[in-house]
Amino acid sequence: MSYKVDFKDVSTVGLESSPVAKALAGLRANEARYYWNKYKHEFVTVPASEDPQTLEWVEEVLSERDMKFGYTPLEISSFEVDGLKMAYVFYENGLVVNVMYSVEKGGKRAVGFKLSDGMEVPAEFEGKFKFARQKSKLAGTIRGSYFVVKGEH
C-alpha cells in the first residue's frame, strides 16, 4: 500500500517499528517538501516488500563501494523527475539511502546517506565518510554524506 508523504502533518505511518520513528518520519517529510518545492512532485513511498527491484538496484549501486547493510528496509520510494532516476530506502535504524542517477550519460550520479536525529553513526561509515550537519524544522538535525557513482547501473 502506497503512502503519499505529508510534510505539513508528519506521520510515522510505515515507520512505527523504528526506534527513531519520529525523527525518521521527519526526515521523510523533509525529502517530500524538497521535491514538492523544487519539482511539484508528490513523494510517495511503499513498504520495502512491495518494491524489491528498487531495493536490489540500490544495493547494486552500493556494491560499487563494497557496502552491504544488514538493516531492515521499511519503505522505498522510486521515481523519475527532471531527467533523474531517484530511489530512496528508509531503514528501521534511521538510515536513509538515496540514489540520484542521471538518465543521460555523463550526468550527475551519486548516493546520499542521511542519518536520523538520535541515531549513532553506523560502523560501516566510521572513517569512510564525514557527515555534514543540517538543521530542519521537520527532522531536527540531519547528518548527511555522499559518494559519486562511477559505474553504469
* pLDDT tens for the chain, residues 1 to 153: 899 999 999 999 999 999 999 999 999 999 999 999 999 999 999 999 999 999 999 999 999 999 999 999 999 999 999 999 999 999 999 999 999 999 998 899 999 999 999 999 998 898 889 999 999 999 999 999 999 998 777
DSSP state of 60: H
Does the residue 93 lie in any domain?
yes
Q: Which residues have C-beta within 8 Å of that of residue 83, sequence separation ≥ 6?
A: 102, 103, 104, 107
Domain hosting residue 62, numbered range? 3-148
Q: What is the pTM of this model?
A: 0.95
Does the residue 70 lie in any domain?
yes
> Exposure of 15 by Cβ count < 10 A (0-12 exposed, 13-18 middle, 19+ buried)?
buried
pLDDT of residue 109: 95
Does the residue 137 lie in any domain?
yes
DSSP code per residue over 66-129: T----SPEEEEEEEEETTEEEEEEEETTSEEEEEEEESSTTS-EEEEEEE-TTPPPPGGGTTT-
Q: How many domains, the chain?
A: 1
pLDDT of residue 19: 96
Helix then strand then coil, in percent of the chain rounded to 5, is 25, 35, 40
Does the residue 96 lie in any domain?
yes
Does the residue 153 lie in any domain?
no
pLDDT of residue 126: 85
130: its cell numbers? 564525514
pLDDT of residue 83: 94
